[in-house]
Structure 1
Amino acid sequence: MSSSKKTKHVLPTIVVAQFLCTSLWFAGNAVLSDIVKNFPAETNLLANLTSMVQFGFISGTLVFAFFAISDIFSPSKVFFICGIAAALFNLGACLPVSDVNLLLLFRFLTGFMLAGIYPVGMKIASDYFKDGLGKSLGFLVGALVFGTAFPHLLKTFTASFPWQYVIFGTSALSLTGALAILLLVPNGPFRTAGQKFNFRSCFDGFKNPGFRSAAFGYFGHMWELYTFWAFLPGMLLLFNSKHPSSTLNIPLFSFLVIASGGISCMIGGMLSQKFGAKRIATIALAISCSCCLLSPVFLFNGSAYLFLIFLFCWGLSGTADSPLFSSLIAKNAPESLRGTSLTLVNCIGFAITIISIQAVNVLSKQFNVQYLYMVLAIGPVLGLWALMGKKSH
């Protein structure tokens, strides 16, 4: 059997495993309306639950990179262990706890273990596909998006059951994904030992104008994306409350809008091969920026059809540029510092999501919600400015 036939199943397996394991990411958000009943005094639970997962992921990526975990140990085994651990920590949301801090700790630990799933999945793919990795990134990031959206769909299917079924279901999916990687994806043929994480040297990438423009484009994208995802169910709920005749299924449309971004990731990856990653990323970021600025017009006024069309446009454009920024950053990073440079950019990007989520949460108590989401345009505007400034391909 030829080596190509032996590895034909690898990318589909990684993509499916990424989807199954990253379903843990927004599992708490999908059942927030049920969890909040146990903590009626916690008015900031949405922002804090989401932020703790992000903070856990940031901490995890730094720890995994500093100790070179996926270089020293088999990345498939690292993925497996983290997938199992994340599933167990995810189950902590079902414990009958009265202290909200314990719930937040479980979400933090879930996010920490996701650092051994999403980036390590990318690492496994790079160990198999030396050429054409950029195209593979579109499918891998698309899997992350579908996984992020899936708990909302699971909530729709289990609406007549206790909310804990969503948590049980996502943990079971993570266990399945972890086993799939362990059993079907051994170490890749291009796996080599990487250098130890060097916090000081990872800043060297920013000396390259192409790297710098791609990184700042990515930062602007991250300011907008996760905050839009986190507050999307609230947008749908508010539309229903403003239009008593509207009966939009909030979990279902939350899933559909977020999941649409998975499709645009794959399409964007294919278009970038013909038109260039920077051009497609810039167009996508400009469209999502326009959605932020036009949100007062379309979010809560007019018909449900216009409202949903607008949300789908936002969902598609807000994610399409994600794998393209990853490929631009990887291409422009110093060869010997690619891993550490990508780690730093990833960590800064997810740290920005925490600031954005908390900022919108605070502003929601001070300003008319009609104009609230215009603040998300700050990131794309700055990102577009960075992309227009220097050339990267």
Structure 2
Amino acid sequence: MAPISSRSALILIVIAQFLGTSLWFAGNAAAPELEFILGQKDLVPLITSMVQLGFVAGTFLYAFFSIPDRFAPSDVFFFSAILAAVSNLVLLIMPLQLTWVIGSRFLTGFFLAGIYPVGMKIASDYFEKGLGSALGFLVGALVLGTGFPFFLKAFEVAISWKVLLFSTSGLAIGSGVLVGFGIPNGPYRKINPKLDFGLLPSFAKNPRLKGAAGGYFGHMWELYTFWAFLPVLILFLTQGKIEGSTQAFWTFSIIAAGGVSCAVGGLFSVKKGSEKVALVSLLGSGFCALILLIAPEIPSPVVFPFLLVWGIWVTADSPQFSTLVAQSVQPEHRGTALTLVNCLGFGLTIVSIQTAGFLSDFLQVKVYLGLLAIGPFMGLLIYRYFKKKKV
């Protein structure tokens, strides 16, 4: 495959990341119809957690065997995208039963492990400098891809759950083709040819890595629970006065605003540094959750702007913490480090989502989502603690 410029590679990765990660919340957008057909209630927490659990299992195995560092990352991305698309289509092939819904979402999440962190690995192979900016665009594409199913549902054109799953699988296959056949190995790629089972334990002795990971974990405690329960929060804050299509459009807009903020934050990181952008964003999102918790009521005209601001802050730190993770290890270990940190971070999202689901039986949505502020503030403390440690 002929070499390409870093700019061309980034454009292709960004497009592919958007297409591939549209699989992430496809099940959530299809959940209302699936609940009706299956006669089940409250499928969203279960569906979301299955994707997260699959992603955790996938990233653990990818990291344990150092797959992104030992094999050509474009090939890993290609095969993972194809398998994720097929897993998403299982519900169109097999009888529609709850077990198949759970299995399909788990496998989709499992193979997404070869799309998101591997995409960041590919970017790090092309950018020796300006990685924070590159990952800002890359994670921004992930965020937009995550919200895309809600964009489809926002239109009152009859989009069935089958069409939704079929279209997102088609996009994922396209993403695999773009990367697999369009992006060769980057000029800064360092191959790690051997399987080193001592690599993961050695990461635990790296204070820079632990600090960056701690900040990322605080961010992840908040992010996916905020996204998963966002439609419920919108309905609560508007007192049920908006229609389903408007609710879906609001959900997409708030998530998409975070995609834009990732890119803008990446540009700021070039001058201000990834650390500053990450910490300011983490603090901003923590305060948004705190406001939701302590404010007696959010006035109707302020609801959408408030959630939009929260959507902006809640994601802008993600690519910058990933940049700090990548910069804390040797180049030949970046793929493994990024994948491992993703594994642990997404594992936290399962606990957070299930905790919110449990608390929803006892508390108002503004209270149990307001408690998400614990994550960002703990992330800030952990980052500051390990920053003082010497390597």
Provide the secondary structure at the position in 2 that maps to 1:207.
coil
Provide the secondary structure at the position in 1 that maps to 2:128.
coil
CA shift in 2, pair 1:75/1:201, >3 Å: closer
Cα deviation per residue 1:63-94 (whole Å; 9 max; x = unaligned)? 22333334444322222222122112112234
CA shift in 2, pair 1:125/1:339, >3 Å: closer
In the alignment, which of 288, 291, 307 is matched to residue 291 of structure 1?
A: 288
CA shift in 2, pair 1:301/1:97, >3 Å: farther
Q: Is 1:311 aligned to residue 310 of structure 2? A: no
In the alignment, which of 251, 256, 263 is matched to residue 253 of structure 2?
A: 256
Q: Is 1:273 aligned to residue 273 of structure 2? A: no
Distance in 1, matches of 2:245 and 2:290, equals 24
Does structure 1 retain, via aligned residues, the 8 Å contact 2:69–2:334? no
Distance in 2, matches of 1:297 and 1:93, equals 42
Measured after TM superposition, the shift of residue 333 of structure 1 is: 2.9
Provide the secondary structure at the position in 1 that maps to 2:292.
helix
Does structure 2 retain, via aligned residues, the 8 Å contact 1:44–1:361? no
CA shift in 2, pair 1:209/1:135, >3 Å: same
Distance in 2, matches of 1:55 and 1:3, equals 36
Provide the secondary structure at the position in 2 that maps to 1:130.
coil
Alignment correspondent of 1:119: 117
Measured after TM superposition, the shift of residue 106 of structure 1 is: 0.6
Q: Is 1:16 aligned to residue 15 of structure 2? A: yes
Alignment of 1:214-225 (within 5 A): 214-225=212-223
Deviates more, 1:210-219 or 1:224-233: 210-219
Q: Is 1:364 aligned to residue 360 of structure 2? A: yes
Distance in 1, matches of 2:322 and 2:37, equals 39
Unaligned runs of 5+ in 2: none
Alignment correspondent of 2:370: 374
Counterpart code for 2:152: L
Q: Is 1:37 aligned to residue 33 of structure 2? A: no
Alignment correspondent of 1:210: 208
- What is the CA RMSD across the aligned residues, in angstroms? 2.5
Does structure 1 retain, via aligned residues, the 8 Å contact 2:215–2:321? yes
CA shift in 2, pair 1:245/1:148, >3 Å: closer
Measured after TM superposition, the shift of residue 243 of structure 1 is: 4.8
Does structure 1 retain, via aligned residues, the 8 Å contact 2:281–2:317? yes
Distance in 2, matches of 1:33 and 1:299, equals 30
Counterpart code for 2:77: F
Cα deviation per residue 1:221-276 (whole Å; 9 max; x = unaligned)? 00000100111111123344x25477870111111100111111111111122222
Counterpart code for 2:16: A
TM (normalized to structure 2)? 0.91
CA shift in 2, pair 1:391/1:67, >3 Å: closer
Does structure 1 retain, via aligned residues, the 8 Å contact 2:125–2:187? yes
Provide the secondary structure at the position in 2 that maps to 1:267.
helix
Counterpart code for 1:24: L
Distance in 1, matches of 2:56 and 2:331, equals 23
CA shift in 2, pair 1:349/1:298, >3 Å: same
Alignment correspondent of 1:107: 105
CA shift in 2, pair 1:268/1:15, >3 Å: same
TM (normalized to structure 1)? 0.90
Measured after TM superposition, the shift of residue 100 of structure 1 is: 0.8
Alignment correspondent of 1:348: 344
Deviates more, 1:334-343 or 1:101-110: 334-343
In the alignment, which of 75, 84, 91 is matched to residue 86 of structure 1?
A: 84
Measured after TM superposition, the shift of residue 141 of structure 1 is: 0.8
Distance in 2, matches of 1:323 and 1:200, equals 27
Unaligned runs of 5+ in 1: none
Identity of aligned residues (%): 45
Cα deviation per residue 1:140-173 (whole Å; 9 max; x = unaligned)? 1111111101111012236423232211211111
Aligned length: 387
